[in-house]
Structure 1
Amino acid sequence: MRRRLTSVAALAALCVTLTAVAAQPAQAGRAPHPIVAARPPMGWSSWSSLRGNISEAAIEAQADVMHRQLQRYGYQYVNVDAGWSDHLDGYGRDAWDATKFPHGIAPVARYVHSLGLKFGIYLVPGIPKAAVDANLPIYGTPYHAADIADTTTLGNTLGDSWRIDYTKPGAAQYIQSYADLLASWGVDYIKMDFIGPGGGNNPADNTGDIQQWRAALDRTHRRIHLELSNSLSFDDASVWASYANGWRIEGDVECYSSCPGFLTNWKQRVVKRWTDAPKWVPFAGPGHWNDMDSVEIGNGDVDGLTPDERVSVMTLWSLQSSPLLLGTDLTKLDPYDLSLLTNREVIAVDQSGRPARPVSQATPQQVWFSDNGHGSYTVALFNLDATAATVTANWSDLGITAGRAASVRDLWSHTDLGAMRDGFGATLAPHAARLLRVQLSHR
C-alpha cells in the first residue's frame, strides 16, 4: 500500500490539491480542453477516516450515506485513495487488491454511479520500478517498460517509480493505455499524488507526466477530473503558473512540502492554513481551485476540534472556494457537524469561486473578505487567539465609501442583523468565526 508523506494528527488527512478543473489558456495551436469542474468539487475521500482499510462494502457504505444525506447539497465525488492496489497488471498498471475488491473496481464505480454520484481513484506518476524490473510489455505496442524508463531519475517524490522518457516510442502509449483502462472502469476523478517539483522525500519534476496524462484523459472522451497532490510548492508562483498555463492542468495542486498540514496544536494549524492561503488566491479559478485539504468535520470531537474550531475551518475553506472533500467517516456523522456541512448559504460562498483575502494578518483577530460585485461582499471575522476577543470589520477596509450603510446577514445562523454604518464588530470565543454577507444599501 502506498502511503502519504504528510503529518497527520488532529486533522487526520491531507487532502488534495488545487482542485477544480477547468480550461486554462490554450498553448499555441492547441484547443483548450473542456471545463470539468467549473466550481470547486464536493465529495468524500477515503484516506483520512479509513486509510488503507478500504473495501467494496466500505466504499459503497460511504456512497449510500452521501446519497441519502449530502448529495442534495452538492456533494458528489466518492474517492478511493491509497490502498486499493496491491500489484500491477500484465502491462505495468495498478491493479486492484482482490481481497478488498473481489469483484474489481468497475462494479464499485457502477454502484456509485447508480446513486447519481461520481467515482474517484488514486495514482502516482512515473512507471513503477516493479514494471521495469519485470520489463512488462506496454499494451498495444511492441515496446516494454525498460524501453521508456529513465532509471537514472525517480518518477515521483515518493520514489517508487522511474521517470518516463517521453521522447521514447511507447511512452505516450503507456499513459494512454492507463487512461483508457481507468475510463473503462468508470473513473470520474483521479488524484495524482507525490507530484513535483516541490517537496516530498525525493526531487522529481512531473510536468511532462501531467501534460501527457491530461492529453490522454481528454482522448478518452470521458470527463475526468485530474487533481495533483502532495508535493507541489506554492512558494514560487512561477512554478504554479507553468503548471496552470504552460501545461493547462485540469486539477488540483497540493502543497504538502511547504504547508505540511494540520498539526495537533491549534496555533500551528492556524499558522499553516491561515497564513498560507492568501498567497494561493491568484491561482484559484475554474479548473484550478486551491485545495485547503480534506474537511475534517463530520465525526464530532474525533478530530480534536472544538465546535467553534469546526466553524472556523468550514468558514475558511468556504471563503477560499476550496474543494469540500470530506475526510470523515460518513457512516458516523455527528448531527451538529452535519448541520455545518449542509449549510446552504455557507456552501454557496464556497461555490461562488471568489477566494477571500485578509485585510491584515498582523494580529490573531482577522477580517477576510471578497467582493462579489453589485455592492455585495462576503466577510469573515476570525479570532485565532486562545482568549475571547472583539473583531471588527470596517467598511472602509473593504473599499466601501465612508458613511455608507450596509445590511448584514449572518450566514451561519441565517439571520439578518440589520443595516450597519461604517462597520460591524463582534466578540468571538477562542478560535471562533462569523461569516457574513454585506450588501450596500441604496442611498
Structure 2
Amino acid sequence: MNISRRALLTGAGAAALGGMTAMARQHGATEVPLRVAQAAAASISPTSRNSVYTRSGAGPLYWSAYSWDYANNATLPESVWKSNVDWAASTFKSSGYTMVCTDGWVDYTQNTNANGYILSYSDSWAGDWSYWSTYCSSKGLKLGVYYNPLWVSAAAVADSTKTVTGMSGVTVGSIVDSGDYLNSNGELYWVDVTKNGAKQFIQGYVNYFKNMGVSYLRTDFWAWYEAGTTDGQTRIVAHGPANYATALEWIAEAAGDTMEVSVVMPNMYNNGANEVLYGDMVRVNNDATTGGWTHLSGGRQTWQDSWSQWDNAFCGFTGWAHRSGRGQLILDGDFLMMNTFASDAERQTAINLFTVAGSPIAISDRVDNIGSNASFYTNSDVLSLHNQGLTGKPYFNNGNLYSVDGTARDTERWMGQLPDGSWAVALFNRNDTSTVTKSVNFNTDLGIVGSADVKDMWSHTDLGSMTSFSASLAPHASRLVHVVPAETTKRYQAAFAAWGGGANFNNNHTGYSAMGFVDKLESAEAGANVTFAVQATTAGSHTVNYRYGNGNGAAGTVTVEVEGAARNVIGAPQTVSFPATADWNTWATVSGTLTLAAGLNLITIARTASDAGAINLNYIEVS
C-alpha cells in the first residue's frame, strides 16, 4: 500500500551502542628535501559537487514548519506560518538563524502557472511564493522551499494549456507517464526524465524558485523515486539509479552556487556515489516525527542497504562520517524540537551532536510549544564552533565501514578540527541507565604536542591547561569542550580532514600521529583527495610540512592547490614529490611553501592522473 508524506515511518530500537577506544603512537620522523614542480601540475578534477555550501563546512541554521504539519497531518495554515516567521526573526535571527523553510503535505497543492509550477505552498494561502520571499526578506530572513522539481500536479498534467518552459509545443502532461504517481492519492506525478522537455521542466522549476530569491531547496522522497520501495515495502514505480542520477545532475546544474540542494530520503547506494556528485546535503536518518531521544539515539541500531540506512541520528552521523567534510556532503540529522526531550541533558546532547557533526540545526519547535527552551539553540559558544564550519568525526577504531563493522567507529566520542588549528571535542553517554566516564588523550587521539587550554562550551568556563579531558556522564548526558593547543605551528590531522574521490581513513600501519592517517592516494584511485581548512592570519608564503609514509619503493607525487570557499584560486596547483621511506610503518616529512590568503584557505592534496606512485598522509603543519 502506498502512503504519503502524512504517514511517515518510525523506527524502534534496542539500547544504545557502546564505544571502543584505540591508541596511536607517534614515532620519530625522517626529514627529507622537498621536490616541487610548480608548472607541471595538473588541476585537481572535482570528485563531488563541491559547492560553496559544502566548502563552507557545516549546514545552515534555520526554522522549519515540519512539526506543525506532522502533528496536525495537514498543510500549515498561512496565519500559523506568519506568526512563526515573525517569532523566528525576533527570537533566533540575531543568533544566525537566517532562514525559514516550508515542509511537506503539499500533495493537494494544485494551482500552477503556465509552466505547471505551483504558485504557493498551499492553494489556501493568499500569498504566493514571491510574496513570502519578499516578506521574509523584510524580516532579514531567507526563504527555503520544500518541493521536488520532479513533481507535477495532477491538475497541470490534465490541462493541455500548461507547457514546458521554453518549449511552447510540449505540454506538461507529455513529460509524465500514466499511473506514475508520488503516492496512492494520485495528486502528484513524477517527471519521466527520458521524455522530451523533462530537463527543461526540472531545471525551469529550480530557476523558478531561484528567481524569487529562494536559496534553499529541500527535495524529498528520492528513495521512492529510485527504487520504488523503502523499508522492504513497495511504494511506487521504480525509476532506477541511472534516472535518479540524471535528475540529481540536472537539479545541481541549475542550482549552481546560488541554491543549496538538500537530498532527503536518499538510498545512498554505492557508498553515496550519486549523492556526493550532485547533492549538498543528505539526510542520514529517519524522519524526526515526534522527536525526542528515540529520534536522536534510541531508534533502530542496525543498518540496511536502502532508506533509511540508519534510523537514529547518532548512528546516521557515525555511519556516514567518511562522506562528510569540506567539499563533500553536509550530513543532515533532520529537525530538532527541544520541547520533545525529557531533560536539559538530552537537549544539550542533541545540540552537541548536531554541532560536532556539522549538521544543519533546523528548529521545528514553534512559538506555541517551545516553552523555555529557546536558549538551547542560541548558546553563543556552541554556535561559534558551528559558524567556523565545524565538521567533526567520531573516533575511528579502524578503516572498515560502520555498516559492516559495528566496532569500527565510536558513536560516543567525537572530535573536529577548526580552521585555526583548535579542536572541538564532544563526549556522550547514550546509555539509558548507567553513568560512564569518557575521555580523550590530546596526544594519542588528536596529535597535540604538549598541553592545550580547555573551555566548557555550556558553562562558558575556562578549565585550564590540560593534556587530556575526561567527563563522568549520567545517562543521556554529554560534554562539549573547545581545545586550543599551545604550540605556535598549527598541525592539521588528515584523519579529521575531508576525504574525497576514494581517499579514506586507515590505521593499519604503526608510527602515525593521532587517530590515524589517510590512504588510497595512489594510482588506482586517481581523483582521491584530502582537503584541510586552514585559517591564516596573514597573506603570503607559508611554510608547510607534510608528514607521510611511502613504502612503495619509489617516489610518489600528489598535486596540491589552495582555494577559497568560493573556489577562488589562492595558490596554483603544484606537484609535490615524496621520496620512498623504508616501509609503510616509517614516516618522513617533506617541507615546502604554499601561498595562503588571510582568512580561510582550503588546501587540497590530491592524486591526479598525472601523479605517480602512492603515499599515506598523516598530517600537515602550517607555520
Q: TM-score range by the shorter chain?
A: 0.7 to 0.9
Corresponding position: 1:412 with 2:458:
yes
1:141-164 deviation line (CA, Å, top 9, x unaligned): 211134322448667999865553
| 2:261 aligned residue | 226
Residues 442/167 of structure 1: CA separation in 2 closer, same or farther (3 Å cut): closer
Residues 151/254 of structure 1: CA separation in 2 closer, same or farther (3 Å cut): farther
1:243-283 deviation line (CA, Å, top 9, x unaligned): 322xx33x322245699996764752484322231231232
Counterpart contact for 2:176–2:190, Cα < 8 Å:
yes
1:244-259 superposed matches below 5 A: 244-245=276-277, 248-249=278-279, 251-256=280-285
With 372-381 and 159-168 compared, the bigger mean Cα shift is at: 159-168
Counterpart contact for 1:46–1:54, Cα < 8 Å:
yes
Q: How many residue pairs were aligned?
A: 411
> Given residue 417 of structure 2, which amino acid in structure 1 is its aligned partner?
D
Which of these residues, 253, 264, 285, is aligned with residue 215 of structure 1? 253
Residues 356/157 of structure 1: CA separation in 2 closer, same or farther (3 Å cut): farther
Which of these residues, 63, 66, 73, is aligned with residue 44 of structure 1? 63
SS at match of 1:416: strand
C-alpha distance in structure 2 between counterparts of 1:169 and 1:424, whole Å: 61
How far residue 438 of structure 1 moved from its aligned partner, in angstroms, is 1.8
Counterpart contact for 1:195–1:204, Cα < 8 Å:
no
Counterpart contact for 1:356–1:369, Cα < 8 Å:
yes
1:153-232 superposed matches below 5 A: 161-196=188-223, 197=226, 200=230, 201-202=235-236, 203-205=238-240, 206-218=244-256, 223-230=258-265, 232=266
C-alpha distance in structure 1 between counterparts of 2:104 and 2:354, whole Å: 24
How far residue 321 of structure 1 moved from its aligned partner, in angstroms, is 0.5
C-alpha distance in structure 2 between counterparts of 1:433 and 1:410, whole Å: 11
| 2:109 aligned residue | 86
| 2:90 aligned residue | 68
How far residue 215 of structure 1 moved from its aligned partner, in angstroms, is 2.7
| 1:137 aligned residue | 163
Residues 36/270 of structure 1: CA separation in 2 closer, same or farther (3 Å cut): same
CA RMSD of aligned residues (A): 3.7
SS at match of 2:196: coil
Residues 186/377 of structure 1: CA separation in 2 closer, same or farther (3 Å cut): closer
C-alpha distance in structure 2 between counterparts of 1:259 and 1:235, whole Å: 22
> Given residue 322 of structure 1, which amino acid in structure 2 is its aligned partner?
S
Which of these residues, 355, 359, 380, is aligned with residue 322 of structure 1? 359
1:94-128 deviation line (CA, Å, top 9, x unaligned): 34366641132321221101011100111134343
How far residue 345 of structure 1 moved from its aligned partner, in angstroms, is 1.7
| 2:445 aligned residue | 398
Counterpart contact for 1:65–1:331, Cα < 8 Å:
no
SS at match of 1:142: strand
Which of these residues, 365, 375, 379, is aligned with residue 425 of structure 2? 379
Give 5+ residue unaligned stretches, structure 1: 11-23
Counterpart contact for 2:356–2:393, Cα < 8 Å:
yes
Residues 48/224 of structure 1: CA separation in 2 closer, same or farther (3 Å cut): same
SS at match of 1:87: coil
Which of these residues, 426, 432, 438, is aligned with residue 483 of structure 2? 438
C-alpha distance in structure 1 between counterparts of 2:186 and 2:293, whole Å: 28
| 2:52 aligned residue | 35
C-alpha distance in structure 1 between counterparts of 2:314 and 2:136, whole Å: 35
> Given residue 428 of structure 1, which amino acid in structure 2 is its aligned partner?
L
Residues 286/110 of structure 1: CA separation in 2 closer, same or farther (3 Å cut): farther
Which of these residues, 128, 144, 148, is aligned with residue 175 of structure 2? 148
Residues 279/83 of structure 1: CA separation in 2 closer, same or farther (3 Å cut): closer
Which of these residues, 310, 319, 324, is aligned with residue 284 of structure 1? 324
Residues 410/98 of structure 1: CA separation in 2 closer, same or farther (3 Å cut): closer
Residues 2/120 of structure 1: CA separation in 2 closer, same or farther (3 Å cut): farther
1:420-435 superposed matches below 5 A: 420-421=466-467, 423-435=468-480
Residues 277/397 of structure 1: CA separation in 2 closer, same or farther (3 Å cut): farther
SS at match of 1:381: strand
| 1:58 aligned residue | 80
| 1:19 aligned residue | none
> Given residue 295 of structure 1, which amino acid in structure 2 is its aligned partner?
L
| 2:348 aligned residue | 311
SS at match of 1:242: helix
Corresponding position: 1:120 with 2:137:
no
| 1:20 aligned residue | none
How far residue 92 of structure 1 moved from its aligned partner, in angstroms, is 3.0
C-alpha distance in structure 1 between counterparts of 2:357 and 2:47, whole Å: 28
| 1:343 aligned residue | 379
SS at match of 2:336: coil
| 2:586 aligned residue | none
Counterpart contact for 2:102–2:146, Cα < 8 Å:
yes
C-alpha distance in structure 1 between counterparts of 2:330 and 2:65, whole Å: 20
Counterpart contact for 1:320–1:356, Cα < 8 Å:
yes
> Given residue 337 of structure 2, which amino acid in structure 1 is its aligned partner?
E
Residues 73/98 of structure 1: CA separation in 2 closer, same or farther (3 Å cut): closer
% identity of equivalent residues = 23
C-alpha distance in structure 2 between counterparts of 1:407 and 1:327, whole Å: 35
C-alpha distance in structure 2 between counterparts of 1:65 and 1:168, whole Å: 44
Counterpart contact for 2:150–2:202, Cα < 8 Å:
no
How far residue 376 of structure 1 moved from its aligned partner, in angstroms, is 2.4
1:199-225 deviation line (CA, Å, top 9, x unaligned): 53344442222222233344xxx9222
Residues 285/329 of structure 1: CA separation in 2 closer, same or farther (3 Å cut): same
With 262-271 and 280-289 compared, the bigger mean Cα shift is at: 262-271
Which of these residues, 336, 339, 343, is aligned with residue 295 of structure 1? 336
Counterpart contact for 1:8–1:261, Cα < 8 Å:
no
How far residue 53 of structure 1 moved from its aligned partner, in angstroms, is 4.4
Q: Which has the higher strand share?
A: 2
Residues 158/441 of structure 1: CA separation in 2 closer, same or farther (3 Å cut): farther
C-alpha distance in structure 2 between counterparts of 1:424 and 1:293, whole Å: 30
Q: TM-score, normalised by structure 1?
A: 0.79
Give 5+ residue unaligned stretches, structure 2: 13-43, 302-311, 398-405, 489-623
C-alpha distance in structure 2 between counterparts of 1:58 and 1:432, whole Å: 34
C-alpha distance in structure 1 between counterparts of 2:185 and 2:284, whole Å: 14
Counterpart contact for 2:191–2:198, Cα < 8 Å:
yes
Counterpart contact for 1:381–1:392, Cα < 8 Å:
yes
Residues 172/117 of structure 1: CA separation in 2 closer, same or farther (3 Å cut): same
Counterpart contact for 2:394–2:411, Cα < 8 Å:
no
C-alpha distance in structure 2 between counterparts of 1:401 and 1:104, whole Å: 54
Counterpart contact for 1:359–1:397, Cα < 8 Å:
no
Residues 368/193 of structure 1: CA separation in 2 closer, same or farther (3 Å cut): same
